[in-house]
Homo-oligomer: A and B are copies of this chain.
Amino acid sequence: MGVYREGKYTLKFTNLPVLAGTYTVAGPIEGQGPLGRYFDLVYEDSLLGENTWEKAEVRMLHEAVDGVLKGRNLRASDIDYLIGGDLLNQITASSFAARDLDIPFLGLYSACATFSEALIVSAMMVASGASNRVVAGVSSHHDTAERQFRFPTEFANQRPMTATWTVTGSGACLIEKEEEANKNLPRLSSATLGRVVDAGIKDAYDMGSAMAPAAADTIKRHLEDTRQVPEAYDLIITGDLSRVGKPLVEDLLSQEGIEVMRVLNDCGIIIYDPKQDVHAGGSGAACSALVTGGYLYKELLNGNWNRILLVATGALLSPTTIQQGESIPGIAHAIAIER
């Protein structure tokens, strides 16, 4: 068997699936941020010359998939499956990109945790023998997300300091069977799918607080299932908890006797500079995809890290659930990437 369970919830992959390449497409604010030089393609304008932001988002995702294939001299027809999703209603950025790419498509949704969910399903498909080569891809776009989840950008409402800024960008990852890929590339070794955890937060402008309990739950279960201490990883990196959610995770885990402060960071915190005035940090499915596919992947290749646990986090709200008085449940999916 190519996949087995360790502990109650964690999947271990044998014949470790190889993260054989990444490609990242970033919007202008992301390109100006501290990680800008790690992104493969940076746009100066968030419309990309299209006439709607939604069409720009479809194109970004398509370009990320094209980019990761070109990097290995592959064509779309060399890929068995495209696995991914995005934040748009009915994940239309992904399904329209899949239409244009003509690859069988497995659509996923875990809000901003969709990136790690896609890596997990990809790893499972490759480790199980279902496929030799898949692409996992996700996108998000500040302007498509704002007008869908909150207010149109043109409305210029004032955002509270707990708000995060949805990352404009896309990231695609090529996941291959060991024999297909260079032996020295990073691998996907284990994964923990998250439970939906609801802390009762109802403020759609404070998703860090809504998601922190889910992140803490998944990190705890992952470490317990695999019998590891946090320092077994050089870095445990959450998706988009922001400056509000990260200290909450540290506190929640500390109450359980797990001290993560020395190894914990958050994609949403490091993708922007505080001077960029995005408030609490970045969010969106592309937040963890840009940081992982750009920064982390390249630093893994450089040997600066050996073992990373990515814990992308998602806030499972919709405008309808908010209007109906529901709280915001969170989810977090963890995947270990190692050299």
B-binding residues in A (CB < 8 A): 1-5, 8-9, 11, 52, 54-55, 80-81, 85, 87-92, 95-96, 98-99, 102-111, 117, 121, 124-125, 127-131, 148, 192-198, 316-321, 324, 326, 329, 331
Assess the A90–B331 pair: CB atoms within 8 A. Answer: no
Kindly list the 6 A-B residue pairs having the minimum CB-CB distance in the complex, ordered from nearest.
Answer: A1-B129, A128-B128, A99-B196, A95-B316, A90-B318, A3-B130
Chain copies in the assembled complex: 2
- Shortest A134–chain B CB gap in Å is 11
Q: Which B residues lie within 8 Å of A331 (CB)? A: 95, 105, 107
Indicate whether A321 sits within 8 Å of B110 (C-beta atoms), given known contacts A1-B2, A105-B193. Answer: no
Assess the A4–B96 pair: CB atoms within 8 A. Answer: no
Q: Which B residues lie within 8 Å of A85 (CB)? A: 109
Taking CB as reference atom, which chain B residue is nearest A105? Answer: B196
Other-chain residue from B105, B109, B195, B319 in contact with A91 (beta carbon distance below 8 A) = B109
Of A81, A96, A102, A321, chain B has the most CB atoms within 10 Å of the CB of A321
| A74 to B104 Cα, complex, angstroms | 35
Q: Which B residues lie within 8 Å of A88 (CB)? A: 318, 320
- Shortest A290–chain B CB gap in Å is 21
Assess the B3–A195 pair: CB atoms within 8 A. Answer: no
Assess the A2–B2 pair: CB atoms within 8 A. Answer: yes
Assess the A195–B104 pair: CB atoms within 8 A. Answer: yes
What are 17 sample pairs from A and B whose C-beta atoms fall under 8 A apart? A1-B1, A1-B128, A4-B130, A5-B131, A88-B318, A89-B90, A89-B320, A90-B318, A92-B320, A95-B316, A95-B331, A96-B326, A104-B192, A106-B193, A107-B108, A108-B109, A128-B130
| A321 to B89 Cα, complex, angstroms | 10
| A124 to B106 Cα, complex, angstroms | 13
Taking CB as reference atom, which chain B residue is nearest A317? Answer: B90
| A329 to B96 Cα, complex, angstroms | 8
Indicate whether A129 sits within 8 Å of B316 (C-beta atoms), given known contacts A54-B324, A95-B196, A196-B98. Answer: no
| A304 to B195 Cα, complex, angstroms | 39
Taking CB as reference atom, which chain B residue is nearest A106? Answer: B193
Assess the A105–B318 pair: CB atoms within 8 A. Answer: no
Q: Which B residues lie within 8 Å of A98 (CB)? A: 195-196
- Shortest A230–chain B CB gap in Å is 21
